[in-house]
Amino acid sequence: MRLHGSRHPKDMGGAEVEALLSHLANERQVAPSTHKQALAASLFLYREVLQIDLPWRNEIGRPRTQHRIPVVLTVPEVQQTLALLDAGHLVHGLLARLLYGTGMRIMEAGCA
C-alpha cells in the first residue's frame, strides 16, 4: 500500500486499512462499489494470503450505497410529450406511444 510507504501488509493492521479506505472515500471520492471492492480485497489479502486473523474487520466502516429514485413523468407530462410528437410527425408519435405503452426498448421497435 503506497499510502503507508513501502511497508509490507503483514506489518500493518486495522488502522492502516481504515486509513486507506478513508483515503479512497474522502480524497479520491471513489464510488461505494469501488470502496467495497477495496475492502473485500484487503480482507481477502489478510485472511487468505497472509493468514492473519483480523479481529478488527467488523469495526471497519462500510459505505452506504445511494439509492437512486427513478425519474418518472407524470401523466400530464407524458400526454404533453406524446402530443408534441404527434404534431411533429405522425410516425414518431405512433412509435413513441408503442414504446411507452408496451415498455419496449428503442432497439426492439427498430428505431435505431
What is the DSSP secondary-structure string of 52-89? ---TTGGGS--PPPPPPPPP---HHHHHHHHHHHHHH-
Q: Which residues contact 105 (CB under 8 A, 6 or more apart)?
A: 99
Asked if residue 76 has pLDDT above 90, the reply is yes
- Please report the pLDDT score of residue 41 as a whole number: 86
**Mean pLDDT for all residues in the chain:** 79
What single DSSP character describes residue 45? I
Place of cell 429514485: 69
C-alpha cell, 107: 432497439
One-letter amino acid for residue 51 of the chain:
Q
pLDDT tens digit sequence for 1-56:
455 567 777 777 777 777 777 788 778 778 888 888 888 888 888 888 888 876 66
What single DSSP character describes residue 47? I
Q: Which of 24, 94, 15 is nearest to 60 (CA)?
A: 15
How many angstroms separate the CA atoms of 12 and 108, rounded?
Answer: 54
- Please report the pLDDT score of residue 77 as a whole number: 92
Domain 2-59: give its CATH architecture. Answer: Orthogonal Bundle (1.10)
Asked if residue 62 has pLDDT above 80, the reply is no
- Structural domain boundaries in the chain: 2-59, 75-109
